[in-house]
Chains A and B, each alone.
Chain A
Amino acid sequence: MAKIKIDSNLFDRVKAAAEAGGYSSAEEFVVHIIEQELAKSEGSDTDENVAEKLRGLGYIE
Chain B
Amino acid sequence: MALAGGVRARRVFAGGKSRAGARKKVIIIGIDGMDPNLSEHMMESGQLPNFAKLRQGGGYSRFGTSIPPQSPVAWANFINGAGPGSHGIFDFIHRNPERQVAPFFSAAETVGGSGYWEMGRHKIQLNFRPFGHKASATLLRRQGVPFWDYLDEAGVDSTFYNLPSNYPPSESKYGHHRCLSGMGTPDMLGTYGTYQHYSEDGPIRTRDEGGGMRSMLFFENERAEGKLRGPVNTFLIEPEPVTVDFVVHRDKGARAAVIEIQNHKILLKEGQWSGWFKVDLEFSMPMLMRNEHISGIVRFYLQEVEPNFRLYVSPINTDPSKAKAKITEPKKFIGEISEKLGLFYTTGFQEDHKALSNKVFTDAEFAFQAGMVLEERLSLLEYSMDNYDDGLLFFYFSSTDLQGHMFWWDSDEKHPVRSAEDAKAYFEHLKGIYRKMDAVVGDIVKRYGADATIIAMSDHGFANFKRQFNLNGWLRENGYVQPASSTSIMADVDWYGTRAYGLGINGLYLNLMGRERDGIVESGQEREEILIELVGKLEALRDSNGRRVIKKVHRTDKTYVGPATALAPDLIIGYSRDYRASWSTCLGDMGEEILLDNESAWSADHCADVSEVPGVVFSNRPIAAEGPALIDMGPTVLEEFGLQVPPSMTGKNIFKG
A57 contact set on B, CB distance < 8 A: 92, 192, 349
Tell me the bound Cα distance from A57 to B110 in angstroms.
17
B583 contact set on A, CB distance < 8 A: 60-61
CB-CB contacts below 8 Å: B235-277 with A: 237-239
A6 interface contact, C-beta 8 A:
no
A36 vs chain B, min Cβ distance (A): 11
Tell me the bound Cα distance from A53 to B187 in angstroms.
11
A51 vs chain B, min Cβ distance (A): 6
Bitwise, B329-355 to A at CB < 8 A (1) or not (0) is: 000000000000000000001000110
A51 and B192 in contact (CB under 8 A), knowing A42-B136, A60-B92?
A: no
A57 vs chain B, min Cβ distance (A): 5
Closest residue of chain A to B106, judged by CB?
A: A54
Looking at the complex, which of B74-82, B600-608, B639-647 is the stretch in contact with chain A?
B600-608
B166 interface contact, C-beta 8 A:
no
Interface centre among A42, A53, A59 (most CB of B within 10 A): A59
A13 vs chain B, min Cβ distance (A): 22
Number of interface residues of B (CB under 8 A): 45
Contact A47 B211 (CB under 8 A): no
B587 contact set on A, CB distance < 8 A: 51, 54-55, 60
A39 interface contact, C-beta 8 A:
yes
Contact A58 B93 (CB under 8 A): no
Tell me the bound Cα distance from A54 to B107 in angstroms.
12
Bitwise, A23-51 to B at CB < 8 A (1) or not (0) is: 00000000000000001111111010011
A44 and B111 in contact (CB under 8 A), knowing A54-B92, A56-B192, A56-B194?
A: yes
A58 and B105 in contact (CB under 8 A), knowing A39-B112, A42-B113, A42-B114?
A: no
Closest residue of chain B to A41, judged by CB?
A: B237
Bitwise, B69-110 to A at CB < 8 A (1) or not (0) is: 010000000000000000000001100000100111100001
Tell me the bound Cα distance from A58 to B505 in angstroms.
12
A60 and B110 in contact (CB under 8 A), knowing A41-B123, A43-B136, A55-B210?
A: no
Which label, helix, strand, loop or mixed, suits the secondary structure of the A interface?
A: loop
Tell me the bound Cα distance from A43 to B123 in angstroms.
11
A53 contact set on B, CB distance < 8 A: 105, 190-192
Closest residue of chain A to B405, judged by CB?
A: A58
A50 contact set on B, CB distance < 8 A: 102-105
CB-CB contacts below 8 Å: B349-381 with A: 349, 353-354, 357
Contact B354 A56 (CB under 8 A): yes
Contact B193 A56 (CB under 8 A): yes
A19 contact set on B, CB distance < 8 A: none
Interface centre among B99, B113, B191 (most CB of A within 10 A): B191
B616 interface contact, C-beta 8 A:
no
Tell me the bound Cα distance from A30 to B116 in angstroms.
22
A12 contact set on B, CB distance < 8 A: none
B295 interface contact, C-beta 8 A:
no
A41 contact set on B, CB distance < 8 A: 116, 123, 234, 237-239
Tell me the bound Cα distance from A36 to B325 in angstroms.
26
A54 contact set on B, CB distance < 8 A: 92-93, 103, 105, 587
Closest residue of chain A to B349, judged by CB?
A: A58
Q: Which of B112, B237, B605 contacts A44 (CB 8 A)?
A: B112
Tell me the bound Cα distance from A44 to B105 in angstroms.
13
Interface centre among A43, A55, A58 (most CB of B within 10 A): A58
A40 vs chain B, min Cβ distance (A): 7
B626 interface contact, C-beta 8 A:
no
B104 contact set on A, CB distance < 8 A: 50
B430 contact set on A, CB distance < 8 A: none
Tell me the bound Cα distance from A53 to B184 in angstroms.
12
Contact B113 A61 (CB under 8 A): no
Tell me the bound Cα distance from A51 to B405 in angstroms.
22
A45 contact set on B, CB distance < 8 A: 110, 190
Contact B92 A59 (CB under 8 A): yes
B316 interface contact, C-beta 8 A:
no
Contact B114 A56 (CB under 8 A): no
Bitwise, B556-598 to A at CB < 8 A (1) or not (0) is: 0000000000000000000000000001101100000000000
8 other contacts beyond A53-B192, A60-B587, with CB at 8 A cut-off? Answer: A41-B239, A43-B135, A47-B103, A50-B105, A51-B587, A54-B93, A55-B587, A56-B354
B interface list, Cβ under 8 A from A:
70, 92-93, 99, 102-105, 110-114, 116, 123, 135-136, 190-194, 208, 210-211, 234, 237-239, 349, 353-354, 357, 402, 405, 490, 505, 583-584, 586-587, 600, 602, 605, 607
**17 intermolecular pairs with C-beta atoms under 8 Å apart:** A41-B116, A41-B238, A43-B113, A43-B136, A43-B239, A44-B110, A44-B112, A47-B103, A51-B103, A53-B191, A55-B587, A56-B192, A57-B192, A59-B92, A59-B505, A59-B605, A61-B586
A-B pairs with lowest CB-CB distance, top 8: A44-B112, A43-B136, A55-B210, A42-B112, A61-B583, A43-B234, A56-B211, A56-B192
